Amino acid sequence: MSVTLDMSQTPLREVNTTLQAAAKAHSNEPHVIVNARGSHAMAVGLDGPLHVTVKGSTGYYCAGMNKEATVTVEGSAGPGVAENMMSGVVTIEGDASQYAGATGHGGLLNIKGNASSRCGISMKGIDIVVHGNIGHMSAFMAQKGNLVVLGDAGDALGDSLYEARLFVRGTVKSLGADCIEKEMRPEHIDLLRDLLERAGADAKPEEFKRYGSARKLYNFNIDHAGEY
């Protein structure tokens, strides 16, 4: 049995309160949200292994601060989906707007369509798989985690990044400051294969290039002043 929450009849605050209580209680009942109508901040702050399906598209900050829950959006998501995610799995069947997965600490954000600009900005351990393309300034100041892109990447990929790993199968319009192409070693092939399998992505790890930090901006250097 599943629990259906109809947002044409139930206000957002009540929907989120119901989901948060079910997650904390480790409910085995899947929860389904209908008539989502692009509502903002839906299914946020879940702290437990709950399964949530959203029938339709969502506004900004869907599944923010997610911990352990599995959230599937059967549509597209607005800005900041899975922002500050800690663990669990968030799947977007359509496209994601800008700064998807921002500051994410863990878990898997699986975007079946395209992602807009600043995807994975300041990511801190999250795994993000995008089956389509990503926009400009993605992985800006990314500190830790993995960003996998089956399509193309826009301008300034990985600008000022730290130790995050970026894998792109398509073309990269340009690399940001301190981001360089790096060797794909066997451990990276294994890591990428596992991520692609978990995301249900139809691609081979050998088809990707890896990008990472040149580590020239870690400490201030007057010779690189123009890059800061």
Query: DSSP string covering 136-160, please?
Result: TTTTTT--EEEEEESS-B-TTBTTT
Q: What per-residue confidence (pLDDT) applies to 114?
A: 98
Please say whether the beta carbons of 101 and 71 come within 8 A.
no
Q: How far apart are CA 173 and CA 208, in angstroms?
A: 15
Q: What is the pLDDT along the chain (228 residues), one digit of tens a residue?
A: 899 999 999 999 999 999 999 999 999 999 999 999 999 999 999 999 999 999 999 999 999 999 999 999 999 999 999 999 999 999 999 999 999 999 999 999 999 999 999 999 999 999 999 999 999 999 999 999 999 999 999 999 999 999 999 999 999 999 999 999 999 999 999 999 999 999 999 999 999 999 999 988 666 565 655 654
Pairing relationship of beta strands 165-168 and 209-213 according to DSSP bridges: antiparallel
Q: What per-residue confidence (pLDDT) applies to 215?
A: 87
Strand boundaries in the chain, DSSP class E: 3-6, 31-34, 51-54, 70-73, 89-92, 108-111, 124-130, 144-149, 165-168, 179-182, 209-213
Q: How far apart are CA 184 and CA 126, in angstroms?
A: 20
Q: What per-residue confidence (pLDDT) applies to 216?
A: 82
| DSSP 8-state symbol, 157 | B
What structural domains does the chain harbor? 3-217 (2.160.20.60)
Q: What per-residue confidence (pLDDT) applies to 164?
A: 97
Tokens representing 87 are 């663990």
Tokens representing 222 are 């007057």
